[in-house]
A and B are shown apart, each in its own frame.
Chain A
Amino acid sequence: MNGMESSAYNNRHLKIHEIAAIENQEYEFLDSKSRLASFIGSLITVLIIGIGLAVLLYFVMDKMPFPVPYILIGVYSTLALWMLIYPFLAYKKRGYIIRSYDITYKTGVIWKKVISIPYNRIQHSSIKQGPIYKTLGLSNLNIFTAGGSNSDLEIAGLKLEDANKLKAYITKKVGELDV
């Protein structure tokens, strides 16, 4: 792995000031189209729930006690607004770092989460494309470890070719580091 080392970022932590490297790194953003993709996803959900709520209110609004319909509408509008803004807020907060020994992904608008997985703990990885992603040329990269579903990593909104590149790199790394 000597050739790899020079080309990719080297994360051997030898001295104390070199430690704590992830937080000093520039995260790579996801593809900018991923905003649009999740916005479309949110919009569809918002519309479906909205139609459902409208139908419900049309039939039973009279029978509900006074504040209930307004509470429902209020809750719905807040949620809808949040869901529609969220993709744009989330985009800025998401990113990944590829290093020579591990991969790190950050996500979360309110609660922030940074997940790091060493390559030598990766079981397998997969690429997934939903209908919206397909039309936009995006994809999901899923990375699985033996740590259970909570510890798996999903990078949603990579350009398909980037995801393929990344997957190939990870697979190569997993093979190299496998003990």
Chain B
Amino acid sequence: MSNPQRYDIYEWNRQSYWSIVFFVFNFLKAIATNIPALIGLYTVLSKTGWNVFIFIALLLGLLTVLGLFSFIAFKRFRYKIEGDEFLIESGVFVSKKLRISFDRIQSININQSLIHRFIGVVSLEMDTAGSKGKEVHLSAISSKFAEYIKGTIYSHIEDNSSYNPLHEDETVTQERNKEKKVLFRLSASDNLKYGLLDNHLRNLLYVLALAFGLFGQINDLFEDQASNFIDNNINGMEATIMANIIFSVIVMIIFIMLIVLVISVGKSFLKYFDLKMWVTNKGYGMIAGLLSRQETHIALHKIQTLHWTTNPLKSKFDMYDLVLSQARSTDNDPKNNKVFTVPGMGKKGIKAILNDVLKEEIPDYFGASAFSIDSSYAKRFTFYSSIVPVIGIGVLSYFFGWNYMVYALLIAALFYVAYTLFQSNFRYIIGEKVIWVSKGVLGRTFEAAEVNKIQTIELVQSPYQRRKDLASLKLFTAGSNIKIPYIPLELAYQIRAYLLKEVNTSNEAWM
């Protein structure tokens, strides 16, 4: 495609010489997993009078053989295209031949890890239907050649109309070369900001829960010695020492918080480093990552639902996580339920994408067409959520003293505040073509799904809802689902009838 004179995939090709490095690496990895065996071998041999030098000499010999093997492996690893198949020949002693027909290829991914970038090569993987791992893995080839292979195979697939239309979207990659209109880019400073504004409180709670769990286990292990120690010492202590302890606990929490912060900021920084998202005429593409660069694609017609989330801090800086849910190709396979997540996107970018995918503007969630849910939602859900903890704590209080019931009340109060906020924030709009939901306790999640993408409609009523003539609606799509709880029954009926009519009479394909 880019240089047909130099590249010819229809003849046998070898990988870049650098692939030897990866062959060595793979062999070493195989050896590394056998290190216990090596140690065992060494101890056995040392008892029979062998010394360490002979062992090292043996190891060196092994490494030489390994280098040789890697070279042979490199020489014998060949690949080409023949007809509608991708052929690979490999194997050091036993020659292996692999034929992959194009209609089995789900996607072709080009990746570049840090080592790859240092050397200036890429790896190419082909995802094939009916196999768990990556059947085809070229560990080191030049990036131009990789693009050429990808383009060639995709154009083969495209030319042959008898192929599954599922593959259409994968040709996105090919389009990308012609037209790479960058829609969104996460700068390094925005990336840091994004990481810093993340919900660290939640992470801290996880860590604290873990720490308390550990304390409990240690306490159990030493039969309450730990808590006895703390009790005894605290009882006999002066106020100043108490203050010191409280101070050090606070310092400790701040310290843990800092560690959590550094880890999560670092993680998101590595993952989203130099993130680029671009538009093609078939869909979107995205690439990101510092240590290993991950490239993902999504086709417009495969998008089932869109949602974008923010927390109170991020919303101040106009940062949202946009998630495009793709249709799952098979059930019960989480790997197939792919989502396309763009972190730290601004409202402007989201508007552009909504315009592109849904051909609609973000509606006014407080306008005339927006509905809210019934206020009894907060009380009922507080009741449902707190009943188990309250009974649990109640039983404990029976044995250990009723003052523990304070915690039960506290939990119920927290639930009540959260559900009240959720209920008063919930807004939904049943548009002509799109269903919109806005919800959240402190942060916000916005959901949008085309009416046409709905697969199944479920109307649920609890005994309480039946008494109050309320119902909850669940709208299932092939991507994610939309729930509208606690709305008047009559309205639920109308919405259901409307949606069914729209879906029943729709001639548009949902995928």
The chain A residues found within 8 Å of chain B, CB to CB, are 11-13, 19-23, 101-102, 110-121, 144-153, 179
Chain A contacts of B457 at CB under 8 A?
115-117
Which of B328, B331, B490 is the most central at the interface, judged by chain A CB atoms within 10 Å of its CB?
B331
Let me know if A149 and B332 touch, CB within 8 A: yes
24 A-B pairs within 8 Å (CB atoms) are namely: A11-B500, A13-B498, A19-B497, A20-B490, A22-B493, A101-B500, A111-B461, A113-B459, A114-B460, A116-B456, A117-B455, A117-B457, A118-B500, A120-B506, A121-B455, A121-B503, A146-B328, A147-B477, A148-B481, A149-B332, A150-B476, A151-B458, A179-B507, A179-B508
Secondary structure type dominating chain B contacts: mixed
B478 within 8 A of A: yes
A147 partner, pick from B456, B494, B504, beta carbons under 8 A: B456
In the complex, the chain B residue whose C-beta lies closest to that of A109 is B463
A120 lies within 8 A of B504 (CB): yes
- Tell me whether B456 and A151 are in contact (CB under 8 A): yes
Chain B min CB distance to A40 (Å): 28
The answer, yes or no, to whether B511 is at the interface (CB within 8 Å) is yes
> Is the pair B497, A22 in contact by a Cβ cutoff of 8 Å?
yes
- Which residues on A sit within 8 Å (CB–CB) of B126? none
Interface residue from A101, A116, A147 paired with B496 (Cβ < 8 Å) = A116
- What residues of chain A lie closer than 8 Å to B454, measured between beta carbons? 121
Known: A112-B466, A146-B511, A147-B456. A11 touches B331 (CB 8 A): no
Bound Cα distance from A120 to B455, whole angstroms: 9
* Residues in chain B near residue A111, CB distance under 8 A: 460-463
B456 touches A115 (CB 8 A): yes
CB contact under 8 A between A147 and B510, given known A22-B496, A111-B462, A121-B456: no
Residues of B within 8 A of A146 (CB): 327-328, 455, 478, 510-511
Q: Which residue of A lies closest to B457 (CB)?
A: A116
Nearest neighbor of A146 in chain B, beta-carbon distance: B478
Question: B residues engaging A (CB < 8 A)?
Answer: 327-328, 331-332, 454-463, 466, 476-478, 481, 490, 493-494, 496-498, 500-501, 503-511
List 5 additional A-B contacts (Cβ < 8 Å) besides A11-B500, A101-B500, A150-B481.
A11-B504, A113-B458, A115-B459, A121-B455, A146-B328
Check B494–A20 contact: CB distance below 8 A: yes
Query: Which of chain A's residues has its CB closest to B478's CB?
Result: A146
Closest CB of chain A to B498's CB: distance in Å? 7
Please indicate the chain A residues that have their CB under 8 angstroms from the CB of B507 in the complex.
179
B493-A118 in contact (CB<8A): no
Measured between C-beta atoms, what is the minimum distance from B438 to chain A in Å? 23
Residues on the A chain within 8 Å of B511, using CB? 146
Question: Complex: how many Å from CA A21 to CA B508?
Answer: 24
Please indicate which of the listed interface residues B476, B504, B506 has the most CB atoms of chain A within 10 Å of its own CB.
B504
Task: Give the interface centre of B332, B497, B498, B505 by most chain A CB atoms within 10 Å.
Answer: B497
**With A and B bound together, what is the CA distance between A179 and B301 in angstroms?**
14
Q: For the complex formed, measure the closest distance between the CB of A123 and the CB atoms of chain B, giving whole angstroms.
A: 9
Nearest-CB residue, chain B, relative to A152: B456
A12 to chain B, nearest CB (A): 8
A23 and B460 contacting across the interface, CB-CB below 8 Å: no
Which residue of chain A lies nearest to B459 when distances are taken between CB atoms in the complex?
A: A114
A101-B500, A118-B503, A145-B455 are known contacts. Are A112 and B460 too (CB-CB below 8 A)?
A: yes
Point out the residues of chain A lying under 8 angstroms from B456, CB to CB: 115-117, 121, 145, 147, 151-153
Q: Are B459 and A110 in contact (CB under 8 A)?
A: no
Identify the closest chain B residue to A14 (Cβ): B501
Of all chain A residues, which has the CB nearest B510?
Answer: A121
Q: How far is the CA of A110 from the CA of B463 in the complex (A)?
A: 6
Q: How far is the CA of A119 from the CA of B506 in the complex (A)?
A: 11
Among all A-B residue pairs, the 9 with the closest Cβ atoms? A147-B455, A147-B476, A151-B476, A151-B456, A101-B504, A146-B478, A145-B455, A20-B493, A114-B459
Chain B residue at minimum C-beta to C-beta distance from A21: B497
User: Given the complex of chains A and B, what is the CA–CA distance between A148 and B456 in angstroms?
Assistant: 10
Chain B residues with CB under 8 A of A144: 331
User: Inside 8 A of A110's CB, which chain B residues have their CB?
Assistant: 462-463
Q: Bound state CA distance, A11 and B501, in angstroms?
A: 8
CA distance A13 to B456 in the complex (A): 18
Q: Do residues A23 and B463 form an inter-chain contact, with CB atoms below 8 A?
A: no
